Structure 1
Amino acid sequence: MTVTLAAASEEFGRDLEENYATIARLVAEATAAGADLLALPEAALGGYLSSLGGRGDPSRPDSLPPAIRIDGPELARVRALAGDLVLVLGICEAAGTEAEPVRYNTAVALTRDAVLGVHRKVHQPLGEGMSYAAGDSFTAFDSPVGRLGLMICYDKAFPEGARTLALDGAEVVVCVSAWPAARTAAATDLAEDRWTKRFRLYDQARALENQVVWVASNQAGTFGRLRFVGSASVIGPGGEVLAETGTGPGLAIAAVDVTTELAAARRAMFALRDRRPDAYALDGRVIAEELVDA
Structure 2
Amino acid sequence: MTTLRMAAVAAEFGRDLEEDFQIAERLIKEAREEGVRLLALPEACLGGYLLSLDDSTELDEGPPALALDGPEIRRLASLAGEMTVVAGYCEAAGEARYNSVVCVTGDGVLGNHRKVHQPLSEDASYASGDRFHAFDTPVGRIGMMICYDKAFPESARALALDGAEIGVCVSAWPGSRTNAAASLEEDRWKRRFDLFDRARALENQIVWLSANQAGTFGSLRFVGSAKVVDPGGEILADTGVAAGVAVAELDVAQALETARRSMGHLRDRRPETYDIPTGAVSA
**Interval of TM-score (by shorter of Structure 1 and Structure 2):** over 0.9
- Which residue of structure 2 aligns with residue 177 of structure 1? 171
Cα displacement (A) at 1:273: 1.0
Q: Paired residue for 2:93, among 71, 95, 107?
A: 95
Q: Indicate the residue corresponding to 1:259 in structure 2.
A: 253
| SS of equivalent residue, structure 2 residue 189 | helix
Matching residue within 204, 220, 225 for 1:226:
220
Partner of 1:29: 30
2:9 and 2:226 in contact (8 A); partners too: yes
Alignment-derived partner of residue 65 in structure 2: 67
State the distance in 1 between where 2:54 and 2:264 align.
40
Please give the alpha-carbon distance, in whole angstroms, between the structure 2 residues aligned to 1:261 and 1:36. Answer: 17
| 1:189 maps onto 2:183 in alignment | yes
| Structure 1: runs of 5+ lacking an equivalent | none
In 2, the alpha carbon distance for the partners of 1:40 and 1:154 equals 16
Q: CA deviation at 1:47?
A: 0.1
Report the TM-score when normalising by structure 1. 0.94
SS of 1:27's partner is helix
2:281: which partner in 1? 288
Q: Return the offset for 1:268.
A: 3.0
Q: Is residue 156–residue 206 contact of structure 1 (8 Å, CA) maintained in 2?
A: yes
Percent identical residues: 60
Separation in structure 2 between the aligned mates of residue 125 and residue 268 of structure 1, nearest angstrom = 37
Alpha carbons of structure 1 residues 56 and 89: separation in structure 2 relative to 1, 3 Å: farther
Shift of 1:55: 1.8
Aligned CA distance change for structure 1 residues 210 and 244 (closer, same or farther; 3 Å): same
CA distance in 1, matches of 2:139, 2:80: 15
Provide Cα deviations, 1:1-59, integer angstroms capped at 9, x if missing partner.
3111100000000001110110011001111111001100000100000000222466x
User: Which residue does the alignment assign to 1:13?
Assistant: 14
- Match of 1:50? 51
What is the identity, as a one-letter code, of the residue corresponding to 1:92?
C
The number of residue pairs the alignment matches comes to: 282
- 1:37 maps to amino acid: L
Structure 1 position 180, deviation (Å): 0.3
Letter in 2 for 1:95: A
Aligned residues of 1:56 and 1:63 also touching (Cα < 8 A): no
Structure 1 ranges of 4+ moved more than 2 A: none
What SS is found at the alignment partner of 1:63?
A: coil
Matched, 1:83 2:88: no
- SS of residue paired to 2:261: helix
Moved more, 268-277 or 115-124: 268-277
- Separation in structure 1 between the aligned mates of residue 157 and residue 12 of structure 2, nearest angstrom: 30
1:287 is displaced (CA, Å) by 4.5
Task: Specify the alignment match of 1:158 in structure 2.
Answer: 152
TM-align CA RMSD: 1.1
The match for 1:111 among 102, 105, 115 is 105
What is the Cα deviation at residue 107 of structure 1? 0.5
C-alpha deviation, 1:148, in angstroms: 0.4
Task: Tell me how far apart the structure 1 counterparts of residues 216 and 277 of structure 2 sit (CA, whole Å).
Answer: 44
Q: 1:282, CA displacement in angstroms? A: 2.9
1:211 is matched with 205
Counterpart amino acid of residue 72 in structure 1: G
Cα offset for 1:83? 2.6
2:45 is matched by which residue type in structure 1?
A: A
Secondary structure of residue in 1 paired with 2:15: coil
Task: Measure, in 2, the Cα distance between the counterparts of 1:5 and 1:280.
Answer: 35
> Which letter does structure 1 place at the counterpart of 2:242?
G
Among 121, 139, 146, the residue aligned to 1:127: 121
Gaps spanning 5+ residues in structure 2: where?
none
Distance 1:57 1:221, change over 3 A: closer
Q: Is the 8 A contact 1:50 1:56 kept in 2?
A: no
Task: Write the distance in 2 (CA, Å) between the matches of 1:112 and 1:16.
Answer: 20
In 2, the alpha carbon distance for the partners of 1:231 and 1:10 equals 10
Q: For residue 235 of structure 2, what is the amino acid of its counterpart?
A: V
